[in-house]
Amino acid sequence: MTRDLTVGKPLKTIVLFTLPIFIGNVFQQLYSMIDAIIVGHTISNDALAGVGATGAISFLVIGFVQGLTAGFAVKTSQLFGAKDEEGVRRSIASSLLLCAVLSVVLTTVAVLTTMPLLKIMNTHADIIGYSYDYIVTVYWGLTATVFYNMASSVMRAIGDSRTPLIFLIAAAVLNVGFDFLFIVAFKMGVAGAGWATTLSQAISAIGCFIYLFVRFKKCRIKAAHFKNPVKFYWKHLAIGLPMALQYSITAVGVMVQQTALNGLGKSAVTAYTAASKIDNLAAQSLYALGSAVATYCGQNYGAGRIDRIRSGVRVSMLAGVVCSLIGLAFVTLPSTPLTKLFISDITDELLSLSKQFLLYQGAFYVALAAIFVYRNALQGIGRSTLVVFAGVTELVMRIIASVVLVSSFGYLGICLSNPAAWVGADVFLLATYYIIINRLKKKFDKHNETLSRDAAAIACQSEGISDTSERDIENAQSTAEKEERRSA
């Protein structure tokens, strides 16, 4: 079922829309964790470290895909909010064509640059083979990843956050089954984990599109819907590319961070890999909240409801604070048993390094919550280009922390690099959001005032009043505004 996010109490609307996304994200992280657990316990700690060492370059490409497809869906959500069904169909068709072209380009570039990037990042000789075998397999399946993310983003854009959850749960179950089949039964090693992820996403992507076109009439496209002006395609790219670049810019900083981490030895990489899985799971409520904010702001921007955007962002930030405190408790209280899940030959050193990383991440989850709320709000109202500058700020802060702090404090510098990047990005995002939203409010208020005055004048003329007083106009204007709010 689709959900119109332009009506209802903002907090309740956002929370109900967020919950299915959150549950889906948790399942996605769980099967990623199961990948790591199976690799760590059935192959070796070196294999686990090898898979973990691909996190940065994986995020560079997968993050680009997620940003791109989410950006295309922002345009879809704006058209949905404006009640333009034909525009929604044209937007879906445009996104399909753009994704088909870009998936071919991304796959080619990603596969060819995998080994050079692993070497540039100073990946340890004992684990670089594992790293390459795993990530190049994932890259060969990028087309499935692109279209799975696109289908999920389109469904959320039209207000359906439940169906992507169902297909994500199905993908999680399939992934676990394929893990045991490929890694344990077929002895395919870390490449088996990559193929398990690719195959499960491909099946889910096909299912998503079948459901999308069968269930929602407003999403059924024809050949004519692909015949759009270049400008229409560019509008999607103008939102999608900056969002994709923002993820990739962040990934470059993570690559620098990973390079510094690799220089600290295999123990640091292994502990960081295990801790990162726990950290990612704890932060999923914030990722889900950000996705909901983007769709909420996109629909309300299309409907011209700036007032709802302002109130929605405020309550979302309050929800983000609550989620941050819960996340902090999750990564600090059960950190020991959670770390032991991933590492077969656990040592006091590995356990200590994992705990240290989780403590510093959890303490700054509020700063991460602010990034997701304000960044996605700006993306929802079509200001993706500005968000790129927040990514640059985050990149600079992460590089400085990774280079300067690691050289001075070692592993502690790695622990501080993410919080430093989050705080730096927050300063830019908060200032930019409030400047933009205040400008939009003035613009829409002026527009609505003009419409109300026109309505008042027409009402007076229809009653045969030729010499209308200012008070009469104001009364008519007030009536028109009430009718407009009631219809909204």
98-118 confidence digits (pLDDT tens): 999 999 999 999 999 999 999
Give the largest CA-CA distance in the chain: 90
pLDDT score for 477: 42
**Is this structure's pTM higher than 0.85?**
no
- Coil, strand or helix at 30: helix
C-alpha distances out from residue 361 to 102, 136, 275, 279, Å: 34, 29, 10, 7
What's the mean pLDDT in 416-445?
A: 90
Q: How is residue 467 annotated by DSSP?
A: S
| CB neighbours of residue 315 within 10 Å | 17
pLDDT score for 395: 87
| CB neighbours of residue 111 within 10 Å | 16
Quick one: angle between helices 335-342 and 10-42, nearest 10? 50
pLDDT score for 449: 67
How far apart, in whole angstroms, are the C-alpha atoms of residue 192 and residue 179? Answer: 7
Q: Is the pLDDT of residue 236 over 90?
A: yes
pLDDT band (50, 70, 90) for residue 93: very high
Backbone angles phi, psi at 121, to 5 degrees: -80, 5
- The residue written with tokens 């400047």 in the block is 435
Nearest CA among 286, 295, 250 for reference residue 372: 286
How far apart, in whole angstroms, are the C-alpha atoms of residue 59 and residue 473? Answer: 58
Q: Is the pLDDT of residue 411 over 50?
A: yes
pLDDT band (50, 70, 90) for residue 365: very high
How far apart, in whole angstroms, are the C-alpha atoms of residue 75 and residue 62? Answer: 21
- Coil, strand or helix at 316: helix
Q: Is the pLDDT of residue 239 over 80?
A: yes
pLDDT score for 262: 87
What's the mean pLDDT in 450-470?
A: 55
Nearest CA among 238, 330, 307 for reference residue 485: 307
pLDDT score for 435: 93
pLDDT score for 34: 75
Q: Is the pLDDT of residue 482 over 60?
A: no
| Encoded tokens for 53 | 């060492």
- Sign of the torsion formed by the C-alpha atoms of 155, 283, 8 and 84: negative
pLDDT score for 474: 46
pLDDT score for 33: 73
Break the chain down into helix, strand, coil percent, rounded to 5. 85, 0, 15
What's the mean pLDDT in 43-67?
A: 86
Q: How is residue 224 annotated by DSSP?
A: G
Q: Are 21 and 291 in contact (CB under 8 A)?
A: yes
- Mind giving me the DSSP string for 430-449? HHHHHHHHHHHHHHHHHHHH
| Encoded tokens for 169 | 């749960």
To the nearest whole percent, how much of the chain has pLDDT over 90?
47
Q: Is the pLDDT of residue 467 over 90?
A: no
Q: Are 37 and 342 in contact (CB under 8 A)?
A: yes
C-alpha distances out from residue 323 to 15, 231, 242, 366, 488, Å: 12, 40, 27, 8, 31
How far apart, in whole angstroms, are the C-alpha atoms of residue 58 and residue 35? Answer: 15
- Coil, strand or helix at 236: helix
Mean pLDDT of the chain: 86
How would you class 213 by CB atoms within 10 Å of its CB: exposed for 0-12, middle for 13-18, buried for 19 or more? Answer: middle
Q: Is the pLDDT of residue 380 over 50?
A: yes
pLDDT in tens, 1-52: 677 888 899 999 999 999 988 988 887 777 677 777 788 778 887 888 888 8
- Coil, strand or helix at 8: coil
Q: Where is mean pLDDT largest: 54-68, 348-362, 440-454, 470-484? A: 348-362
What's the mean pLDDT in 273-279?
A: 88
pLDDT in tens, 145-200: 999 999 999 998 888 888 888 898 888 889 889 988 998 899 898 999 889 989 99
Q: Are 92 and 169 in contact (CB under 8 A)?
A: no
How far apart, in whole angstroms, are the C-alpha atoms of residue 299 and residue 160? Answer: 13
To the nearest whole percent, how much of the chain has pLDDT over 70?
91
Between 214 and 466, residue with greater pLDDT: 214
Name the region of 395 (left: φ>0; alpha: ψ -120 to 50; beta: rest).
Answer: alpha
Q: Is the pLDDT of residue 330 over 90?
A: yes
How far apart, in whole angstroms, are the C-alpha atoms of residue 97 and residue 180? Answer: 35
How far apart, in whole angstroms, are the C-alpha atoms of residue 243 and residue 385? Answer: 8
Ordered by start, the domain boundaries in the chain are 10-386
Q: Is the pLDDT of residue 452 over 80?
A: no
- The residue written with tokens 């962002």 in the block is 313
pLDDT score for 91: 95
Least confident of 49-58, 117-126, 135-144, 210-219: 49-58
How far apart, in whole angstroms, are the C-alpha atoms of residue 76 and residue 85? Answer: 10
pLDDT band (50, 70, 90) for residue 484: very low
Q: Is the pLDDT of residue 455 over 70?
A: no
How far apart, in whole angstroms, are the C-alpha atoms of residue 399 and residue 255? Answer: 9
Q: Is the pLDDT of residue 454 over 70?
A: no
Q: Which residues contact 45 (CB under 8 A, 6 or more apart)?
A: 266, 270, 343, 344, 345
How far apart, in whole angstroms, are the C-alpha atoms of residue 12 and residue 25? Answer: 20
Nearest CA among 362, 159, 164, 398 for reference residue 258: 398
pLDDT band (50, 70, 90) for residue 481: very low
Between 468 and 230, residue with greater pLDDT: 230
Q: Which residues contact 8 (CB under 8 A, 6 or more apart)?
A: none
Alpha-carbon torsion, ordered 472, 476, 479, 480, to 10 deg: -160
